């Protein structure tokens, strides 16, 4: 009984996470900084599903927990890469403006 509730909660969490990712990437083409806290909470849920899957020997919970954590890692990587590229372009603009002076 309890294992079924974990699986149902996992499915709801996966649908929620997927909907948020598609919404933010579709509307803003990035995850806003303020919305990253939501994804951090969902990533913590991934840890809990992974732990529950390991305790209960349920491969679906293990796979779901790993999936949630991988998606969170990709979101964080996207955030870091976009921030790096933004800083690089800002440095190039500053170099061009300094060269003109």
pLDDT tens per residue across span 42-53: 888 888 899 999
What's the pLDDT at 98?
78
Contacts of 35 (CB under 8 A, 6+ apart): 20, 24
Does 12 have pLDDT greater than 80? yes
Mean pLDDT, residues 63-70 taken together: 92
Local confidence band at 101 (pLDDT 50, 70, 90 cut-offs): low
Name which of 41, 53, 40, 63 is nearest 3 in CA terms: 53
Predicted TM-score (pTM) of this structure: 0.78
């Amino acid at each position: 009984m309890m294992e079924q509730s974990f699986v149902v909660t996992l499915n709801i969490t996966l649908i929620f996470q997927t909907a948020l990712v598609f919404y933010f990437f579709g509307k803003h083409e990035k995850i806003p900084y303020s919305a990253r806290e939501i994804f951090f909470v969902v990533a913590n849920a991934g840890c809990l599903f992974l732990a529950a899957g390991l305790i209960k020997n349920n491969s679906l919970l293990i796979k779901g927990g790993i999936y949630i954590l991988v998606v969170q890692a990709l979101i964080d990587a996207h955030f870091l890469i976009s921030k790096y590229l933004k800083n690089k372009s800002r440095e190039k603009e500053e170099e061009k403006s300094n060269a003109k002076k």
